[in-house]
Structures are given as C-alpha cells and as structure tokens.
C-alpha cells in the first residue's frame, strides 16, 4: 500500500542540507571530519556495523559497494583519528517513486554512528555528504532507504533530511519486523 505519493511536496535541497551539516559539525562535533572511505577503512566499518546494527554482511559486500560506489561511501572520523561512523550506498536503475519512468536511484544501504559519538550531527552529515555525492557523482534523481518502523532516531533523522514514508514493507527484516521505505527526489 502506498502511503505517500505527492509530487508537489517541497524538500530542503541537498545544498541547504549540506550547509546545515557543516554548521552542525562546527557547533557540535568540533574536530570531527567526514571523508570518503578508503579500502583500508572497510574492516573498521564492518566492526561498527556489527556493533550497531542487526543487519550484517560479509566482507566482500562492503568491498563490492566500495569498489563500485566509493564516491558515496563515507566515514566519520573523531578528533583522535578513529573511525566512528559510516554510510554506504548503491546506485540502482529502477522505476521512480516520483517519476513514472526508470530513474537512477541512490539506495542508502547502511548508516551507523558509534553510540558514544551520537547526537553530534554526524549521522546528518554522513547523509548530507552521501546525498550530494549521489546527485553530483552518480546523477541520481532520487534516493531511498529502508528503516525499521521502531527506529525512531533514524526515522526522525531521515524526515529532517526530506525523506517521506512511501510504503510499509511487511516483515522486511529477518526477525519479522516491518520496514518503512522512505524516499525523496534529488537535488
């Protein structure tokens, strides 16, 4: 069932979001940086994924996404040079949620920030960098993701970034929980 499908809705542009992300980092995460992941970072990224999410993947999955879409694969780095968060994406060619034809869509596959580094704007910044890259480097016209219906922090974050709930994916997760599919147009 489609819950939301309005084309004329207004979205904060990725450029407004990016500006806000930079401001938030200066205010709340002094000394932290966001940069593209290198191949050497992938092991730590996998460790963070294991610590923070029930959806885990074998090493080749991270490497494959990095090889194909490394311009939209970012890490958050703490002032003492530790990787404390990541975002990884996939570019897919699929029927659009907002246009009735095939579009390039930037799928946010996974994002996480270590618990002790949360609420500093890092999740917002990782998303801002990824959305900008999906548009500028991969020519994506939309972006979408799945999120557990009970994951309030993540849903709030995505709503702030202009994502809307498009539909419920029943029993999407292995433990039987439903997901919201959330999407927004780019830019």
| Residues that bind ligand COA in the complex, under the rule CB under 6 A | 52-53, 111-113, 118-124, 147, 151-154, 156-157, 160
Q: How far is the CB of 108 from ligand COA (least distance, A)?
A: 8
Q: Looking up tokens 């659009």, which residue turns up?
A: 96
Q: How far is the CB of 91 from ligand COA (least distance, A)?
A: 18
State which residue, 45 or 113, has the beta carbon closest to ligand COA: 113
Contact 84, 94 (CB under 8 A): no
The SS3 call for residue 104 is: strand
The SS3 call for residue 140 is: coil
Q: How far is the CB of 79 from ligand COA (least distance, A)?
A: 15
- The string over 119-145, giving b where at least 16 C-beta atoms fall within 10 Å of a residue's C-beta and e elsewhere, is ebbbbbbbbbbbbbbbbeebebbbbbb
State which residue, 82 or 99, has the beta carbon closest to ligand COA: 82
State which residue, 137 or 155, has the beta carbon closest to ligand COA: 155
Q: Under 8 Å CB-to-CB from 26, ≥6 apart: which residues? A: none
Query: By Cβ distance, which residue is nearest to ligand COA?
Result: 123
State which residue, 99 or 170, has the beta carbon closest to ligand COA: 170
State which residue, 44 or 99, has the beta carbon closest to ligand COA: 44
The SS3 call for residue 107 is: strand
Q: Under 8 Å CB-to-CB from 130, ≥6 apart: which residues? A: 72, 74, 87, 89, 106, 108, 111
Q: Looking up tokens 């907002």, which residue turns up?
A: 98
Q: How far is the CB of 94 from ligand COA (least distance, A)?
A: 19
Q: How far is the CB of 87 from ligand COA (least distance, A)?
A: 8
Q: Cα–chain-centroid distance for residue 110? A: 6
State which residue, 113 or 130, has the beta carbon closest to ligand COA: 113
Q: How far is the CB of 57 from ligand COA (least distance, A)?
A: 13
């Amino acid at each position: 069932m489609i819950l939301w499908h309005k084309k004329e809705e207004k979205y904060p542009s990725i450029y407004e979001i990016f500006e806000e992300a930079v401001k938030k980092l200066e205010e709340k995460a002094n000394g932290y940086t966001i940069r593209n992941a290198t191949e050497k970072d992938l092991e730590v990224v996998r460790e963070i994924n294991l610590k923070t999410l029930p959806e885990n993947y074998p090493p080749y999955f991270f490497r494959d996404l990095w090889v194909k879409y490394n311009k939209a694969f970012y890490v958050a780095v703490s002032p003492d040079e530790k990787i404390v968060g990541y975002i990884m994406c996939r570019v897919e060619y699929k029927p659009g949620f907002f246009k009735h034809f095939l579009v390039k869509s930037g799928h946010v596959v996974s994002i996480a920030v270590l618990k002790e580094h949360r609420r500093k704007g890092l999740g917002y910044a990782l998303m801002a960098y990824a959305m900008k890259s999906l548009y500028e480097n991969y020519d994506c016209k939309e972006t979408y993701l799945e999120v557990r219906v009970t994951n309030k922090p993540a849903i709030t974050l995505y709503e702030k970034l202009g994502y809307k709930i498009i539909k419920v994916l029943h029993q999407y997760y292995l433990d039987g929980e439903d997901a919201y599919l959330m999407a927004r147009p780019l830019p």
